């Protein structure tokens, strides 16, 4: 399998990188969709961890419900570690399946904590619309990979090839909007890069 080190093209998105593997016969269209899904789920977990720790896990809740807070904290740590760019250093590949599992576990533990007094929040986590996906570009060796071709058209048929691909988001300002805290009239909205058609609200 070809080993692909995926990085965000935007310098501000240094945390957004991971390893992915696929056959050299894979279509660029399928590769782009798979990489974008993992990229978005990785960003989603990172945003959830920041949100829950900063706005929900208050000192008062930690003091009154130490056991529940510890479980939630540990859940966040495990998810954050799995989604971290440090996995690249350990030569570990990210899986959209496991990323989704971590997100579901966080949501489950938040619900449990809420039943024990975890404070409500007016913070909503939203995503950009999926229509923005069409302009996503994969860049390798300074060239854009065409969705009408296969990976082997660029790198040949060696399944042991290792390459680095940069993910470039189509809209001009998206590359600078990885996970941004926007404060408007005491409402805090975490904005993420294009993801699936759903949006989550923890508040």
User: pLDDT by residue (tens digit) across 6-57?
Assistant: 998 876 678 889 999 999 999 999 999 999 999 989 988 988 898 888 888 8
Average pLDDT, the chain: 80
What is the pLDDT at residue 16?
87
Span 109-137, mean pLDDT?
68
Burial class (CB in 10 A: 0-12, 13-18, 19+), 63: exposed
User: pLDDT by residue (tens digit) across 138-158?
Assistant: 999 999 999 999 999 999 999
Q: 34-38, 67-71, 162-166, 179-183: which has the minimum mean pLDDT?
A: 179-183
Q: Which residue has the higher pLDDT, 134 or 56?
A: 56
DSSP-derived secondary structure letter, 85: T
The tokens 């189509």 sit on which residue?
170
Contact 128, 193 (CB under 8 A): yes
Which letter, b or e, does each residue of 73-96 get, where b requires 16 or more Cβ atoms within 10 Å of its Cβ? bebbeebbebbbeebbeeeeebeb
Q: 45-54, 71-80, 128-137: which has the minimum mean pLDDT?
A: 128-137
Span 176-187, mean pLDDT?
39
Q: In what order do the strands lie in the sheet with 187-192?
A: 124-127, 187-192, 180-184
What is the pLDDT at residue 12?
62
What is the pLDDT at residue 130?
41
Span 173-190, mean pLDDT?
40
Question: Is 78 in a helix, a strand, or coil?
Answer: helix
User: pLDDT by residue (tens digit) across 101-113?
Assistant: 999 999 899 889 9
Burial class (CB in 10 A: 0-12, 13-18, 19+), 172: exposed
Query: What is the Cα–Cα distance from 96 to 14, expressed in whole angstroms?
Result: 20
Contact 28, 165 (CB under 8 A): no
């Amino acid at each position: 399998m070809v080993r692909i080190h995926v990085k965000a093209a935007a310098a501000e998105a240094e945390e957004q990188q991971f390893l992915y593997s696929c056959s050299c016969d894979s279509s660029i269209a399928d590769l782009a969709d798979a990489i974008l899904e993992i990229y978005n789920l990785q960003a989603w977990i990172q945003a959830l961890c920041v949100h829950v720790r900063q706005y929900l896990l208050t000192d008062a809740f930690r003091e009154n419900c130490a056991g529940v807070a510890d479980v939630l904290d540990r859940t966040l740590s495990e998810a954050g570690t799995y989604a971290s760019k440090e996995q690249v250093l350990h030569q570990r590949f990210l899986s959209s399946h496991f990323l989704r599992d971590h997100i579901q576990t966080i949501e489950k533990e938040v619900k449990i904590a809420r039943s024990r007094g975890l404070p409500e929040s007016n913070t909503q986590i939203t995503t950009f619309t999926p229509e923005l996906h069409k302009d996503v570009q994969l860049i390798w060796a300074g060239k854009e990979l065409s969705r009408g071709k296969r990976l082997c058209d660029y790198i040949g048929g060696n399944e042991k090839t290792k390459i680095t691909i940069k993910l470039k988001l189509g809209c001009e300002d998206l590359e600078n909007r990885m996970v941004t805290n926007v404060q408007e009239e005491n409402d805090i909205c975490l904005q993420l890069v294009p993801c699936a058609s759903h949006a989550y609200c923890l508040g």
